[in-house]
Amino acid sequence: MNEQHNILSFGELLLRLSSAGETFLGEGNGVTVFPGGSEANVAASLGQWGLRCSYMSRIPDNELSKQVIQVLHKLGVDTTPCLLEGDRLGLYFLLSANGLSKGEVVYDRKYSALSQLEPGMIDWDSVLEGYTWFHWSALTPALNTALAEVCKEALVAAQRKGLTVSVDLNYRNKLWNYGKQPIEVMPDLLQYCDVVMGNIWAANKMLGTAVLETLGRDTPADVYFEHAAQSAREIFDLIPRCKHVAYTFRFMDSPTHNLLYGTYHDRESNFISTIHETNEVVDRIGSGDAFMAGLIYALIAGKPGQEIVDTATSAGFKKLFVKGDFGDGEI
């Protein structure tokens, strides 16, 4: 393991409220609360795996926030970069206990502390001092124009300081509601990225890469692999700086079923993981973030291409059996 790396993950810290019943309404259903947020999930995994990792968000200075960042601290994540400002944490409601159905997420993120960040409020040159790797996701510029500009500030500073930059192309259509489409915002931001992770459909939404409408649940893995390789080639052409692309393929046929595999691409080669399948899913939330963390871990470790995709996919698969948004300590 290359101990020289020091990673900063930046994004919105969220609270997840999960119903213990079919809905939040009615007596006796109960609600379970978990800390989460894509970038925090990545940091939680990296911290547990022993990498030097910090997490930065903007959160209110209250006891609830302190309890949440204490959880991250216990998992090995340095939370000192967090800005204790603003009035409220962002929330999301999961209308099931474990994310085992579709269309069940309701966001409550407007007017959160992070959503009210403005350009010029963070001295990114100072914040990034001492770090070698900066991680962010498409969820942040999805919230508003100001946050897209804040991301641009961070990325310019990261490039100036020579950091490796990774991004998760998380696409949530419920978040892009301020008059901009991802294709209008993301191409410029992605020019600063060395590592791009997501799926072929998110890449299409954010970069305009090709994806066939005929692809579906029954498309064989080898066909998806061919399309992933072509999509990655398009990304390499569009982003001269990019050196690594990874995609996940996740299919759910029932509440407890999940089929998961991944692909990894550099500018010379393409790799596909073992196909993982289970009918015993505990919690689907955060599996993509665990994949992202596994990808970072494998790249830092200098693993060869096949081991990179196998490590990332294994991490994503293991998360399916862990309650809450954060993964566990296995890699």
| Across 200-224, average pLDDT | 97
| Across 156-173, average pLDDT | 97
Q: 34 pLDDT exceeds 80?
A: yes
**Any domain includes 259:** yes
> Is residue 57 within 8 Å of 10, Cβ to Cβ?
yes
pLDDT of residue 80: 97
| Across 202-215, average pLDDT | 97
**Any domain includes 4:** no
Mean pLDDT, the chain, whole residue set:
94
Nearest residue to 115 (alpha-carbon basis) of 94, 92, 93, 89: 89
**Any domain includes 94:** no
Show the tokens assigned to 42: 């990545």
| 20-30 per-position pLDDT tens digit | 766 666 665 67
Give the rounded percent of residues in the chain with a pLDDT score beyond 90.
87
How many folded domains does the chain comprise?
1
CA atoms 236, 238, 241, 245: torsion sign: negative
Q: 259 pLDDT exceeds 70?
A: yes
pLDDT confidence band for 76 (50 / 70 / 90): very high
**Any domain includes 78:** yes
pLDDT of residue 2: 47
**Any domain includes 25:** no
Q: 98 pLDDT exceeds 90?
A: no
**CA angle at residue 315 from 131 to 216, to 5 degrees?**
115
**Any domain includes 325:** no
**Any domain includes 262:** yes
Q: Where would I find the beta strands (DSSP E) of 99-256?
A: 105-108, 133-137, 164-168, 195-198, 244-251
Its domain, for residue 282, covers: 39-63+72-86+118-319
**Any domain includes 50:** yes
Q: 3 pLDDT exceeds 60?
A: no
Q: Which residues contact 24 (CB under 8 A, 6 or more apart)?
A: 17, 31, 93, 95
pLDDT confidence band for 101 (50 / 70 / 90): low
Q: Quick one: DSSP state of residue 273? A: P
Q: What is the distance between the terminal CA atoms of the chain, rounded to a whole angstrom?
A: 13
Residue 240's CATH number? 3.40.1190.20
Q: 169 pLDDT exceeds 70?
A: yes
| Across 118-122, average pLDDT | 98
Q: Quick one: DSSP state of residue 275? A: P
pLDDT confidence band for 292 (50 / 70 / 90): very high
Beta bridge partners of 108: 91
Q: Which residues contact 216 (CB under 8 A, 6 or more apart)?
A: none
